[in-house]
Amino acid sequence: MNFTPPVLVVGAGPTGLVAALTLLQNGIPVRIIDKEPNPNIGQRGPAIWPRSLDLFSFLNVPEINDLGKPFPVIRSYQPGTLELMKEYPMVPHIEPTPAIPFYVAKFIGQQLLDVILRRHLEKFSCSVEMDTELRSFEQSDESVTAVLEKNGMLETFNTKWLIGADGAKGIVRKQLGLTFLGETRDDALMITGDIRLTCVGLDRSYWHQFGYFKERGLSIRPTDEVGEDGWQFLIFGGDVDLTKAAQSEELVLEIITSLIPTEITFTKVIWMSEFRTNIRMVNKFSEGRVFVAGGIVHSPTGGQGLNSGVQDVFNLGWKLALVEKGLADKSLLETYNAERLPVISEMLEMTTTILNQTLKTGNISTTRSPILFMLGINCRFSDIVLDEFVIPGKPVNAYWRESDVKTLFGLYRPWYHTVLVFAPSHTDATLTLGALEAYDKSIVRSVVIPAFIFIR
């Protein structure tokens, strides 16, 4: 049976696009589909944290860091006034260094992010098939048979691997029978969306917050991607029927007007939606030849949803490429579960802690921890990592302290492996480098690190 292409990616949001791009850069053909007729519009999950900026740099997608905007300073106000109550950064500012060049988190709307990633796919003659839905699939030891629907017509597509990037409610997770345990938080309901408006006296260089989380509150962040008068907004509060308001632009405008005590001119609501906070994660990320990515939903207080998903598939992509090329045993793919589940679990705990703190104080003015930068993520506990510092039986800690993080940033790319040879000089490394000559340089590359450089 001919499997062309050998990988089917279901879902063309950022997670699916990164999955496809990672595989294509590794020389693995991909088919990527999305059930929606058109790409999503608006900002949606716009926060890109430093570790994800690392990832996009590895993938040769510099536009995301170049076009992304640093988190603006937040201003909160005395209720019913424009009198400044507090001014603070959402995250602590840390200067970039040669070792860690992406220390500044950025905002870039998902609509623009998707456009950028699709353009990079096109360099590999790959494009997203929109309005194409996965209806079901079956797998054997050797293949996956997917049933697709487009324009009312069914298609049977045979492939070797399937990656579900179709979200927590997607068919891939459901048909695999993966559990999705957790809770729904009715105390953290909100409306999110993009809007165009002008407010007299409101400086567009700041992120503005009005009111209180438990009662009635509003967060508006300027974004020129929507327009020169564009803002992303969040509305929350217990004294507002948000489910009803999410269905009415008029009610949303009334709420905004009630919270910002100045002259407001509304131009257009670009999109809006009710957001009900769920805190859940899958029990595993794969079954046989089928994988899920982004198997987590959590509160938006940490801004980690998109970041978790793209890092899932980046971890999976290089492993799947090696197996597909016949350069690694299929058992390598088992480490996808082992390495990503602890990371997702710890991040879910962190974002829930931030949410609970916000609910307890009723104040959204909470500075975020540097752990959200995700630069401390490690896989020292993985079965494929030999680490003599790991203590057998000790609970897995998927994060280092930020102060422990070091990186040889410029040496790595996702389509080859880098062997670090520690030696006093290049001459002292001759025997080791000679042994490495046996490996294909398109797969394995080496670099000599002077032994006096200490890396944790």
Q: Kindly report the number of other CB atoms within 10 A of residue 102's CB atom.
A: 21
Band (183; pLDDT cuts 50, 70, 90): confident
Mean pLDDT of 187-202: 90
Please name which of 321, 227, 305, 258 lies closest in space to residue 25, comparing C-alpha atoms.
321
Is 273 among the domain residues?
yes
Kindly state whether residues 44 and 148 are assigned to the same domain.
yes
Q: What is the chain's mean pLDDT, rounded? A: 87
Please name which of 67, 56, 69, 71 lies closest in space to residue 101, comparing C-alpha atoms.
56
Kindly state whether residues 16 and 129 are assigned to the same domain.
yes
Kindly state whether residues 203 and 171 are assigned to the same domain.
no
Mean pLDDT of 71-80: 92
- Answer whether the bond into residue 5 is a cis peptide, omega within 30°: yes
* 44 in Cβ contact with 110 (< 8 Å): yes
Kindly state whether residues 197 and 224 are assigned to the same domain.
yes
What distance in Å separates the CA atoms of residue 79 and residue 84, rounded to the nearest whole number?
10
Q: Point out the least confidently predicted range of 181-190, 223-232, 388-397.
A: 388-397
Is 406 among the domain residues?
no
Kindly state whether residues 44 and 122 are assigned to the same domain.
yes
Please name which of 67, 27, 70 lies closest in space to residue 49, comparing C-alpha atoms.
70
- pLDDT for residue 455 is more than 60: no
Kindly state whether residues 272 and 322 are assigned to the same domain.
no
Please provide the DSSP assignment of 211-238 as one string.
Answer: E-SSS-EEEEEE-TTT-TTEEEEEEE-T
Band (403; pLDDT cuts 50, 70, 90): very low
Is 127 among the domain residues?
yes
Q: What's the distance, CA 237 to chain centroid?
A: 27
Which CATH number fits the domain that encloses residue 113? Answer: 3.50.50.60
- pLDDT for residue 90 is more than 70: yes
Asked which of 345, 373, 401 is the last residue of a domain, the reply is 373
- pLDDT for residue 417 is more than 70: yes
**Helices (H), ranges, 129-179:** 171-176
Burial class (CB in 10 A: 0-12, 13-18, 19+), 438: exposed
Which CATH number fits the domain that encloses residue 197? Answer: 3.30.9.10
Is 383 among the domain residues?
no
- pLDDT for residue 220 is more than 90: yes
Q: Which of 155-159, 344-348, 422-426, 443-447 has the highest mean pLDDT?
A: 155-159
- pLDDT for residue 212 is more than 90: no
Residue type, 212: Y
Which residues span the domain enclosing 202? Answer: 185-278
Q: What's the distance, CA 299 to chain centroid?
A: 14
Is 256 among the domain residues?
yes
What distance in Å separates the CA atoms of residue 38 and residue 49, rounded to the nearest whole number?
27
Kindly state whether residues 287 and 368 are assigned to the same domain.
yes
Asked which of 332, 353, 373 is the last residue of a domain, the reply is 373
Mean pLDDT of 354-377: 71
Is 243 among the domain residues?
yes
**Residue 90 three-state SS:** coil
Q: Kindly report the number of other CB atoms within 10 A of residue 197's CB atom.
A: 21
Kindly state whether residues 19 and 161 are assigned to the same domain.
yes
Band (160; pLDDT cuts 50, 70, 90): very high
Band (386; pLDDT cuts 50, 70, 90): confident
Is 154 among the domain residues?
yes
Number of domains in the chain: 2
pLDDT one-digit tens code per residue, 20-70: 999 999 999 999 999 999 998 889 889 999 999 999 999 999 999 999 999
Kindly state whether residues 39 and 125 are assigned to the same domain.
yes
pLDDT at 425: 78
Kindly state whether residues 170 and 116 are assigned to the same domain.
yes
Is 117 among the domain residues?
yes
Asked which of 330, 348, 373 is the last residue of a domain, the reply is 373
pLDDT at 189: 81
Kindly state whether residues 285 and 324 are assigned to the same domain.
yes
- pLDDT for residue 157 is more than 90: yes
pLDDT at 420: 86
Kindly state whether residues 212 and 133 are assigned to the same domain.
no
Entry pTM: 0.87
Q: Between vectors from CA 35 to CA 32 and to CA 36, what angle results, nearest 5°?
A: 110
